[in-house]
Amino acid sequence: MHLFHVPDLACGGCLGFVVRALQDIDNTIRIEANLTARTIKVFSRRFESALLQALRSAGYPAEPVLLPLG
């Protein structure tokens, strides 16, 4: 699981673009979004770098959020 902060994730329409961009590289992907926090949880077997590149290419640059251990 990857957690990303997507600063430009402001509405459901934006989320649709994000989901499609990630589905283009992994059609089995699962995404949970928090529009208020502008974060997405991405469940995928793809490398984090590939997911970040797909988001950047779609116009939604993101940053990984470090998860606490434990």
Question: Residue 68's pLDDT is what?
Answer: 73
pLDDT digits (tens, 9 = 90+) for 16-68: 999 999 999 999 999 999 999 999 999 999 999 999 999 999 999 999 998 77
For residue 6, pLDDT over 90 is answered with yes
Using pLDDT thresholds of 50, 70 and 90, give the confidence band for residue 70: low
Question: Residue 66's pLDDT is what?
Answer: 85
Say how far apart CA 46 and CA 29 lie, in whole Å: 9
Q: Which domains does the chain have, with CATH numbers?
A: 2-64 (3.30.70.100)
